[in-house]
Amino acid sequence: MAVQHRVRDLSLAPAGRHQIRLAEHEMPGLMALRERYTASQPLAGARIAGSIHMTVQTAVLIETLVALGAEVRWASCNIFSTDDAAAAAVVVGPSEQGGTPEDPRGVPVFAWKGETLEEYWECTDQIFRWDGVDGPNMILDDGGDATLLVHKGVEFEAAGAVPSAGEDDSEEYRVILETLRRSVAEDGQRFTRMAPGIKGVTEETTTGVHRLYEMQRAGTLLFPAMNVNDAVTKSKFDNTYGCRHSLVDGLNRATDVLIGGKTAVVCGYGDVGKGSAESLRGQGARVLVTEVDPICALQAAMDGYQVVRLEDVLDQAHIVITTTGCKDVITAEHLQGLRDKAIVGNIGHFDNEIDMAGLARVPGVQRTEIKPQVHEWTFPDGHSIIILSEGRLLNLGNATGHPSFVMSNSFSDQTIAQIELFTKPDEYPTGVHLLPKHLDEEVARLHLDALGAKLTELTKSQAEYLGVDVAGPYKPDHYKY
Amino acid sequence: MAVQHRVRDLSLAPAGRHQIRLAEHEMPGLMALRERYTASQPLAGARIAGSIHMTVQTAVLIETLVALGAEVRWASCNIFSTDDAAAAAVVVGPSEQGGTPEDPRGVPVFAWKGETLEEYWECTDQIFRWDGVDGPNMILDDGGDATLLVHKGVEFEAAGAVPSAGEDDSEEYRVILETLRRSVAEDGQRFTRMAPGIKGVTEETTTGVHRLYEMQRAGTLLFPAMNVNDAVTKSKFDNTYGCRHSLVDGLNRATDVLIGGKTAVVCGYGDVGKGSAESLRGQGARVLVTEVDPICALQAAMDGYQVVRLEDVLDQAHIVITTTGCKDVITAEHLQGLRDKAIVGNIGHFDNEIDMAGLARVPGVQRTEIKPQVHEWTFPDGHSIIILSEGRLLNLGNATGHPSFVMSNSFSDQTIAQIELFTKPDEYPTGVHLLPKHLDEEVARLHLDALGAKLTELTKSQAEYLGVDVAGPYKPDHYKY
Amino acid sequence: MAVQHRVRDLSLAPAGRHQIRLAEHEMPGLMALRERYTASQPLAGARIAGSIHMTVQTAVLIETLVALGAEVRWASCNIFSTDDAAAAAVVVGPSEQGGTPEDPRGVPVFAWKGETLEEYWECTDQIFRWDGVDGPNMILDDGGDATLLVHKGVEFEAAGAVPSAGEDDSEEYRVILETLRRSVAEDGQRFTRMAPGIKGVTEETTTGVHRLYEMQRAGTLLFPAMNVNDAVTKSKFDNTYGCRHSLVDGLNRATDVLIGGKTAVVCGYGDVGKGSAESLRGQGARVLVTEVDPICALQAAMDGYQVVRLEDVLDQAHIVITTTGCKDVITAEHLQGLRDKAIVGNIGHFDNEIDMAGLARVPGVQRTEIKPQVHEWTFPDGHSIIILSEGRLLNLGNATGHPSFVMSNSFSDQTIAQIELFTKPDEYPTGVHLLPKHLDEEVARLHLDALGAKLTELTKSQAEYLGVDVAGPYKPDHYKY
Amino acid sequence: MAVQHRVRDLSLAPAGRHQIRLAEHEMPGLMALRERYTASQPLAGARIAGSIHMTVQTAVLIETLVALGAEVRWASCNIFSTDDAAAAAVVVGPSEQGGTPEDPRGVPVFAWKGETLEEYWECTDQIFRWDGVDGPNMILDDGGDATLLVHKGVEFEAAGAVPSAGEDDSEEYRVILETLRRSVAEDGQRFTRMAPGIKGVTEETTTGVHRLYEMQRAGTLLFPAMNVNDAVTKSKFDNTYGCRHSLVDGLNRATDVLIGGKTAVVCGYGDVGKGSAESLRGQGARVLVTEVDPICALQAAMDGYQVVRLEDVLDQAHIVITTTGCKDVITAEHLQGLRDKAIVGNIGHFDNEIDMAGLARVPGVQRTEIKPQVHEWTFPDGHSIIILSEGRLLNLGNATGHPSFVMSNSFSDQTIAQIELFTKPDEYPTGVHLLPKHLDEEVARLHLDALGAKLTELTKSQAEYLGVDVAGPYKPDHYKY
């Protein structure tokens, strides 16, 4: 029988419930979906294995999926990102269900802040264990770990054995192999039976989407996948507007340093970089941009930013932020060349945007904790720099991540994508699909009222003139917004 | 034998040459292409029939095509848009060729400001008449008129006769039929012989591209076409940055009214609307936005603009600008409801965005010219509104259109697209193609130096990490910039 | 008997009247003053000698003064700044007075575009010649020329002779001496009789105010003066918001060069510099600032601009604008060091901000007119720069000066200042006075409605709490806005 | 003998010292003053009684005063604003002095977070008790409490008795009377002897300055006072740039609500309101402004903000911020009319800008703490609003107040003002003085290097032309920046 939940402390549930209630107000998209679909229960029969940061916003997503008829099991997709109160509240369930810490009636969650890697993969494994059935029939994923487990499980079960980790394999991959080795030992056909029943996965992020396209190209993808990441209401909103909000928030909470008047370098002018540059300019900083892509570089110039190479402005930069998704964007050499007390942070992606390993290898460098997630690294010549969140995402480490309203967009995309894949299997064969544009537009539409925005309606004659339907979609697929 | 040119006055050539020289400085993309390709002459053998507004910027484009080896014949794509001095200068040719008004050595041009419709189509017809050959082997088009003439020519030659105009046909279509009737009378196989020799067309605008996709769908497209309009360096630059520049320019030249402190409504928040809103905000106006597309509406809200319906804010708006590409965006009813001396203009597309015909039908309305392209329409109750450029594009009518630097981007796209279609026929079968991303990036790259922007180069290891080539392209096709 | 007017061509009057009507709509402050004061005629008995640029906006001012009861005679304060149509319309008078070009019934004006220095001072002399009385009893001045003539006249009449010009005296001073020599020859007590009857002068600009304070310090000031220039509704509005509007307007009309993406240097970050920098940033330029005053420099930095020395960025600057009121801000050496085709203009004050004389002395430099008020100066090495308006004010030379709405503020200040000095001689002894704050506030109040701005009213209890009157003034005198 | 210090816990000193070191890097003005004046010791002989929030930044100020030769005793000027670690570090002293918690060698401080009113006034009393002398010879004040104690002490000592509190007197005034009653009982001439020895007070804030001007008008001021509050480098920097920083910081830490796309009302468009509006706009909010002063209202309109009355937009506002210094700006009626979950905060001044008392009296209203300093007030109809910091200053209550760089400006003003009053008694008679402009400029100058800003120097000839000294001051006194 499947374990029913594993969180830090169920007594935190009331505090979490309070925050969930406030977040619901800032997530009009999800609340509108509840209102629209509670009667018809489009997810009735869906068994969703979910793997996304177990935050307050995710709690609202989970309870929306349940309100639409789904059964759900949940793990976090990051060892640090769980809000223990939110997790507890989800397990206990909404008050109208009468759950209590002693008698929880909510959703099984397997997540707490500060898991070990072993615990993390055990938790992920748990979302695939359902009482009385072979597993979930839907996956909701962020980064692709849940999807990976199924694919690797099927692969190794077919091979009859889980291989040993190679010399170059990461610590995490060893843990994954170990997890699967236990699974195979217990039941050598578990994922093999499960995979055909999975109607699809909806994937939240660039990284996860990248893995999906690779599997599609390699012909190994086992079920349909919806690329939620590239919905406009996700990529442009989460990345640009979310980071515009959380970059200054993270800088302020971490350092209390005045941003106005400072010289800030934003490495990368993609969606995240655009929001970051606007965030800093809005506070009165002088913003410089580095870019490798000439189109984005030209956009930065046309938006009034000086486009430079990082190595040319090390002595001017008070603040350097990476937003790229690339590695070694700030090298150890760059770091040593920065002016005294320069602040360095990453709002881009993995923690290798800043070469933290290289920094740690600089002879004589000393690391001092100023406060949690804020460290001063002092070089032998006495000058020092401030590194935020040890090079990991500063908006998560130094602030509280994306605000609810932004997440309401991407989580509405997720919910709608789940409905699509679950209810229209014929329209989505195995492969990676973009969210249809009319659904992307629908998610935007659900968020206008809360902002007081009034949409104009096309007349029938105007729609005909444009060659579109009155109800949309309004733009060709290659439109760039 | 083909007529060799038809412009207003060749003695204007020196004045035009002077302006061309200044424009060259602001068109670094085209000048870089000259430098790169003059030796290899990739367009040697190309006979280009060009139909784009015969402006100073187009002169630099034409002379770039010639520098790359092409033979060129040119007409304007609009009866009003020719700069007579530029046209004369192109005909006379660059000074190093020793041409004079008496002995012109430049390019045959058929264009002058203020053509009649009959003259316009005669001019277009002229670019297809080449001495000793069946016609051009390339078309460079803006709006699709040149392309239309070939397709209709082929169609009617196959039918054996040019049909009579129907009751509902526009005045212009009657002229087209008349033009073709003369052609067929003269040579019934002229376009039928010409079409197979045409290696392709490169198309500049939304409208022309729309026609091409329709022909592709209908199976009637006769040769490969390159959609230059949707290159990022065209759509985002020309539309957004070009209009950011020319909207305030047009308003200022037309009215001299202070924009700061005024309430301005921007109808539409696409690429043009985004640039327009930024333009007005940059001058201190309070900007409201109307939208039919919920994604664009949400973007407007997130950018801090109030999203309204036009009918709700008529009494607040000092300035109303359409940017949509749709018709009847401002109806005659809207116009009558506007506050006294409200300024109304269109920077979007056709002149039916504002219902000028409906306005003229309002009983008792009076139209007074304040100065050319600026009219006051006074209603019977005594209040009046100011209409710019009679509802046509205000940045062309009241200002001078897009600045050279912006056109350098789209014209570099054009030049590169011509090279692609002419030199790689195997890669582009009949159909509509987007400009390959690496060429789009190349065009951006050619404009960075002039702005002092320094591009960062990926290391090989970074490129591998990202799964891209060091030289690009850097982004997936669905990337939205 | 006094000459009754001298303008270019009275037949231009209808065109001027048309523009005056449109300007009235954009000058709500003046129109509100007419409405408020036409009944009480506070300026009845006032004979105003006015010397301000004879533009359309000034026409609205003049007719406001007349509507309030004044008799007026007018000259321009600059040889180039007259709008001939506006001047004609003022002379003919508003249509309700039934004036015609043949039978003008308006105000005597002495101004036309392109006066010689001799003509200019003759015109200024004319505004002091009134039939049957010794002269005006009020002066409305811009730059102090009218005030200077009276003071010098009194001085030389007392001395019994007009001195000869010295070697170092400017050409203009020679003309002034000549003008006065003729006056003294004609009537040796003319200004001596006139001065005691003058109740005061209201002065528009920094330069004129500077002269007034110098006379006050020297004890030579002959009558009360109101410093209109330093009213908040003048200095902050005219300088900052006016230049924000007219800088891009002037650049666009002069050059048609895309401002977005360019690097622009604004020399000076006072009121004019602040508006100029905002203007350029609003168009997407990267803006650098130079400053000598550390407070303004720090403000520029805190507003996100890079603060530099001009000599350090000559090779980066596409556009350089002076806004300082100082001389030699851009030296001939600076000019030679600028990059090819750099655009240089002055929106600050006198034409010595840019060392045009020094530029003309550079060996081998060549000056070519591109169009009126736009010149290319080519250096012997072949590179060239573009100078706007020959170094004079580009917003006047290349655009149309401040828009009506801005002028409505300063001209309302002028009108109110005239009323104050004329009706309350006891409150304003000889000396220089600032406009009382409650009148400054009143002028602002008169402009809110037209912008749709709704003012909140203090409750009595709030006013008491703040220690102010419900009706204002609301701020201490040292408040900086 | 005077007590030597009273802080929470000296073992916090190392943590405080660490923060002081980081703050020093962000306070270049104070550090430059140390460098400049350590040798000459201009404050040798000064005994400064200081009363300002005992924060990390104040620690840097205190140690600067000591470095310049002063003896110092310090209290906080607010019961909540002490940073206990900073206070401890100041008492222990900089490490080079070898102080330890057991053997402190720093400055006597009397301050801890969360004092009672009685404790607060005892602490203030302590800064006037010096071993072996009658008291301090200088006061550094914020809000005027230290100055008040001396003046009331002198008054009551002269009267021979401390009066009883009246019915309408505040609780705090009763405590003050009690404190003075004890003082008089102990020594009936204490303040009478002390006051003549006080060379002056330098006052930080509007409120304190207001009290000083009132005493000046009433003829009761006992010694010279310097109005630091109205230095440009204080009023414009602290108010505008400080609040631009701390408003979004406070909102983010308090609510984690996305600001982008929201409608925010800023009540007041003075220095604080200008910074607040910019702060919100920089995050993508739509910003509305309310104003009572027509000049500020017109500025808001010209800056592109809609100027409204609060009662007209209650249903649109997601966020309402007061910035006025007035009372009852948001009434209980306003509060009840706001939309559900509207966020309400005060960044202006006293906690009566929002009528918290009126809110508490609304029948049936319920107050729930969401987290410290964030409360949800739920009305009987079920809708609720979020109040930050119980209506007190949100940037102090929900964030960390002004950043160090901003405080470096006003504290450099303070330090220089102390030097002026202490070393030039002849230049500053009893009365309230503004900081001389050249010193204001000097403070700005000290902050340019840290931002990389390069100041241009006037040539001698330019300075003469402008009629200023090469070294400044550069502007007339009425200049508004």
pLDDT digits (tens, 9 = 90+) for C400-420: 989 999 999 999 999 999 999
Residues D247 and D196 reside in one and the same domain = no
Paired sense of beta strands A306-307 and A319-322, if any: unpaired
Supply the pLDDT for residue D45: 98
For residue D31, name the pLDDT band (cuts at 50, 70, 90). Answer: very high
Total count of domains within chain B: 2
| CA separation for the pair D33, D44 (Å, rounded) | 15
Asked whether residue B267 is domain-assigned, the answer is yes
| Together in a domain, C112 and C176 | yes
Best mutation target, C17, C21, C22, to test chain B (most B CBs within 10 A): C22
**Is B318 considered catalytic here?**
no
Asked whether residue C275 is domain-assigned, the answer is yes
CB D156 within 8 A of CB D180: yes
Render pLDDT for A356-413 as a digit per residue (tens, 0 to 9).
999 999 999 999 999 999 999 999 999 999 999 999 999 989 999 899 999 999 999 9
Residue C113 belongs to a domain? yes
Alpha-carbon distance of C461 to C458, in angstroms, equals 8
Averaged pLDDT for residues D401-430: 97
Collapsed DSSP state (helix, strand, coil) of residue D46: coil
Domain end call among A379, A398, A417: A398
Would you say residue D234 has pLDDT above 90?
yes
Tell me which of B206 and D265 has the higher pLDDT.
D265
Q: What is the pLDDT of residues B177-205, one digit of tens each?
A: 999 999 999 999 999 999 999 999 999 99
What is the rounded distance in angstroms from the CA atom of residue A237 to the CA atom of residue A229? 11
Task: Please state the residue numbers annotated as binding site of D for NAD(+).
Answer: 205-207, 239, 268-275, 291, 347-349, 395, 402
Q: Is residue B25 part of a domain?
A: yes
Residues B160 and B309 in one domain: no
Q: How confident is the model at residue C22 (pLDDT cuts 50, 70, 90)?
A: very high
Is-contact D223 D150, C-beta < 8 A? no
Stretch C80-97: mean pLDDT, rounded? 95
Q: Active site includes D384?
A: no
Task: Answer yes or no: is D448 within a domain.
Answer: no
CA distance D11 to D9: 5
Helix then strand then coil, % of chain C, to nearest 5: 45, 15, 40
Average pLDDT over residues C241-247: 97
Point out the catalytic residue in the list B410, B433, B441, B447: B410
CA pair distance C235, D79, nearest whole angstrom: 43
**What integer is the mean pLDDT of D206-213?**
92
Give residue B470's pLDDT: 97
Indicate whether B1 pLDDT > 70: no
Confidence at residue B80, expressed as pLDDT on a 0 to 100 scale: 86
- Residue C309: list chain D partners with CB under 8 A: 454-456
pLDDT category of residue C1 using cuts at 50, 70 and 90: low
A243 tagged catalytic:
yes
Whether complex ipTM tops 0.90? yes
Structure tokens at A90: 């989800």
- Residues of chain A with pLDDT > 70: what percent? 100
Q: What residue numbers bound the domain in which B74 lies?
A: 5-142+144-203
Q: Which residues of C are catalytic?
A: 53, 76, 81, 142, 204, 229, 234, 238-239, 243, 349, 402, 410, 414
**Residue B457, CA distances (Å) to B168, B446, C256 in order:** 58, 15, 33
pLDDT digits (tens, 9 = 90+) for B264-309: 999 999 999 999 999 999 999 999 999 999 999 999 999 999 999 9
Taking contacts as CB-CB distances below 8 angstroms, the residues of chain A near B456 are: 290-292, 309-310
**Can you give the pLDDT at residue A1?**
61
Q: Number of C-alpha atoms within 13 angstroms, CB side, residue C196?
A: 4
Q: Do residues D39 and D133 both lie within one domain? A: yes
D249 & D187 share domain: no
Q: What is the CATH number of the domain that holds C74?
A: 3.40.50.1480
What would the mean pLDDT of A26-43 be, rounded to a whole number?
A: 98
Residue C119's pLDDT is 97
For residue A303, which phi and psi values (nearest 5 degrees)? -85, 5
Say yes or no: D189 and D280 in one domain.
no
- pLDDT tens per residue across span C181-228: 999 999 999 999 999 999 999 999 988 999 999 999 999 999 999 999
Same domain, B199 and B254: no
Alpha carbons D387 and D375: distance in angstroms, whole number = 5
Sheet strand arrangement including B384-388: B306-307, B286-290, B263-267, B319-322, B342-346, B384-388, B374-378, B366-371
Residue A39 above 90 pLDDT? yes
Q: Is the confidence at residue C325, as pLDDT, over 70?
A: yes
Flag whether A263 is marked binding: no
Whether the Cβ atoms of residue D413 and residue D228 lie closer than 8 Å to each other: yes
Handedness of CA A276, A277, A280, A281 (dihedral sign): negative
**Alpha-carbon span B398 to B389, nearest angstrom:** 7
CA distances C223 to A480, C146, C226, C431, C437, Å, are 67, 13, 10, 7, 22
Residue after which a domain boundary falls, among A367, A398, A429: A398
Kindly report the nearest CA distance between residue A472 and chain B, in angstroms.
8
Taking only the tens place, the pLDDT of each residue in B420-450 is 999 999 999 999 999 999 999 999 999 999 9
Distance CA A362, CA D311 (A): 61
- The 3-class SS string of chain B reads CCCCCECCCHHHHHHHHHHHHHHHHCCHHHHHHHHHHCCCCCCCCCEEEEECCCCHHHHHHHHHHHHCCCEEEEECCCCCCCCHHHHHHHHHCCHHHCCCCCCCCCCCEECCCCCCHHHHHHHHHHCCCCCCCCCCCEEEECCCHHHHHHHHHHHHHHHCCCCCCCCCCCHHHHHHHHHHHHHHHHCCCHHHHHHHHCCEEEECCHHHHHHHHHHHHHCCCCCCEEECCCCHHHHHHHHHHHHHHHHHHHHHHHHCCCCCCCEEEEECCCHHHHHHHHHHHCCCCEEEEECCCHHHHHHHHHCCCEECCHHHCCCCCCEEEECCCCCCCECHHHHHHCCCCEEEEECCCCCCCECHHHHHCCCCCEEEEEECCEEEEECCCCCEEEEEHHHCEHHHHCCCCCCHHHHHHHHHHHHHHHHHHHHCHHHCCCCEEECCHHHHHHHHHCCCHHHCCCCCCCCHHHHHHHCCCCCCCCCCCCCCC
- Under DSSP, the state recorded for A6 is B
With a cut of 80, say whether residue D208 has pLDDT above it. Answer: yes
pLDDT band at C20 (very low <50, low <70, confident <90, very high): very high
- B110 and B186 in a single domain? The answer is yes
Which chain C residue lies closest to B263 (C-alpha atoms)? C451
CB C228 within 8 A of CB C413: yes
Q: Domain holding A348: CATH number? A: 3.40.50.720
Judged against a pLDDT cut of 80, whether residue C2 lies above it is answered with no
- B191 with B320, same domain: the answer is no
Identify the bridge partners of residue B369 per DSSP, sorted by sequence position: B375
The contact set of A with D (CB < 8 A) is 18, 22, 25-26, 241-242, 244-245, 248-249, 252-253, 256-263, 278-279, 281-284, 316, 340-341, 370, 376, 399-400, 403-406, 451-452
Q: What average pLDDT does range A47-64 have in this prediction? A: 97
pLDDT above 80 for A79: yes
Confidence at A247, pLDDT banded by 50, 70, 90: very high
Instruction: Mark whether B349 is an active-site residue.
Output: yes
Determine whether the interchain pair B403/C256 forms a contact, defined as Cβ–Cβ distance below 8 Å: yes
Among B126, B159, B156, B150, smallest CA distance to B54 is for B126
The backbone torsions φ and ψ at residue A122, rounded to the nearest 5 degrees and listed phi first, read -65, -45
Would you say residue D441 lies in a domain? no
Cβ proximity of A92 and A103 under 8 Å: no
Q: Which one of C360, C377, C398 terminates a domain?
A: C398
Alpha-carbon span A262 to A273, nearest angstrom: 17
**Which among D261, D281, D304 has the least Cβ separation from residue B285?**
D304
Mean pLDDT across chain A, nearest whole number? Answer: 96
Contact A461 B328 (CB under 8 A): yes
CA distances for B75 relative to A417, B78, D15, angstroms: 50, 9, 77
Contacts of C219 (CB under 8 A, 6+ apart): none
Residues of A in contact with D24 (CB under 8 A): none
Is residue B117 packed enough to be buried (19+ CB in 10 Å), middle (13-18) or exposed (0-12)?
A: middle
**A363 and A306 belong to one structural domain:** yes
Predicted confidence (pLDDT) at residue A427 exceeds the cutoff of 80? yes
Catalytic-labelled residue, pool D19, D51, D57, D81: D81
For residue C305, which residues of chain A lie inside 8 Å, CB to CB?
286
The amino acid at A224? P
| C-D contacts at Cβ under 8 angstroms | 158
**Domain assignment of residue C216, yes or no:** no
Query: Mean of the per-residue pLDDT values for chain D?
Result: 96
Laid out side by side, the sheet with C109-110 consists of C109-110, C71-75, C47-51, C138-141, C200-203, C225-227, C432-434
Report the pLDDT averaged over residues D305-319.
Answer: 98
From A399's Cα to the closest Cα of chain C, the distance in A is: 24
Question: How far apart, in whole angstroms, are the C-alpha atoms of residue A159 and residue A166?
Answer: 17
Of the candidates C261, C303, C305, the beta carbon closest to that of A301 is on C261
Asked if C286 and A304 come within 8 Å (Cβ–Cβ), the reply is yes
Residue C477 confidence (pLDDT): 87
* Residue D257 to residue A341, Cβ atoms within 8 A: no
Residue of B nearest to C316 (CA): B452
**The pLDDT of residue C349:** 77
Q: Kindly state whether residues A262 and A312 are assigned to the same domain.
A: yes
- Calpha distance B105→A414 (Å, rounded): 64
The pLDDT score that the predictor gives to residue C207 is 85
Note whether B56 and B199 are same-domain residues.
yes
**Is residue A198 situated within a structural domain?**
yes
**CA atoms of D403 and D275, how far apart (whole Å):** 14
Closest-approach residue (CA) in chain C for A278: C304
| pLDDT tops 90 at residue C82 | yes
